[in-house]
Amino acid sequence: MKKVFVKNISNYERFRTGISAVEARGATEASLMLVTGPAGYGKSQTVDQWAVQNGAAYLRAKVEWTPRYFMTELAETLKIDSRGRAKDIFARIAGVLGGQQIPLVIDEVEHCLRDSAQVLEAVRDLSDLTEVIVILVGMDQVQAKIARHAQISSRIAKVVEFAPATPADVTEFCKQLADVEIEPNLITEIYRQSAGRVREIMNAIATVEQTAARNGKKSVSLQDMAGQVLTHDWQARTPRRVNTNRRG
């Protein structure tokens, strides 16, 4: 499978539109963007790619985070001194983020909501002071939880919801990632089985490539995969096989 990031798909376009909206915001303190959606739709991969391309500081929140723990990790990510009093660490972080206008990405933001969302309060303080873009990434339920904290939710300029990949998206994934040609009828089956989950789409492409390698094929159709396991039902923990007799 090719090691490329597929951009021209619907979720990425929504993400880019969201970034543009935050950049064009009227209130400078409203510099937060929330990215939500169920697991498997490509949120983390998208924001990680964006972070790398834009020189953002990327952190994955932890259950054990306190404001001090968060700032220590952020300071280490920024390669600045993480020692001393909390207010001194905060001042150093703010100086670097604001001075260099480094965006901040916090994945699995659910972990920042314990203890009256003290960690997110620290994030809010940093964004208010530096006016840098802060991208918060979480599951689909996190928006309602953040809404309970008006001082934080009022600073979210845009919410971007990741949705299942469309048939056109799956076609793009197969076209850009696969080392073999995946024929349209098999792409349709990948879409059906994956229900638009990016992780399952990529696993299916890898499976198709393995079949192609075993059989010396450069193009793989639905019939070539008949009876084989293409994806797995992650909830029922059962394999999904290709049924070429399916109707409709």
Q: What pLDDT is recorded for position 248?
A: 45
What domains sit in the chain, N to C, each tagged with a CATH number? 10-161 (3.40.50.300), 167-241 (1.10.8)
Q: What pLDDT is recorded for position 236?
A: 61
Burial 57-78 (b: 16+ CB within 10 A, else e): bbbebeeebebbebbbbbbebb
Q: Could you read off the pLDDT of 55-80 as tens digits, one per residue?
A: 999 999 999 999 999 999 999 999 99
Question: How far is Cα 71 from Cα 57, in angstroms, rounded to an integer?
Answer: 12
Instruction: Tell me how far CA of residue 223 lies from CA of 113, 175, 185, 214, 246, in angstroms.
Output: 49, 19, 9, 15, 12
Q: What is the pLDDT along the chain (248 residues), one digit of tens a residue?
A: 999 999 989 999 999 999 999 998 867 778 999 999 999 899 999 999 999 999 999 999 999 999 999 999 999 999 999 999 999 999 999 999 999 999 999 999 999 998 999 999 999 999 999 999 999 999 989 999 999 999 999 999 999 999 999 999 999 999 999 999 999 999 999 999 999 999 999 999 999 999 999 999 999 999 999 999 998 876 667 888 898 876 54
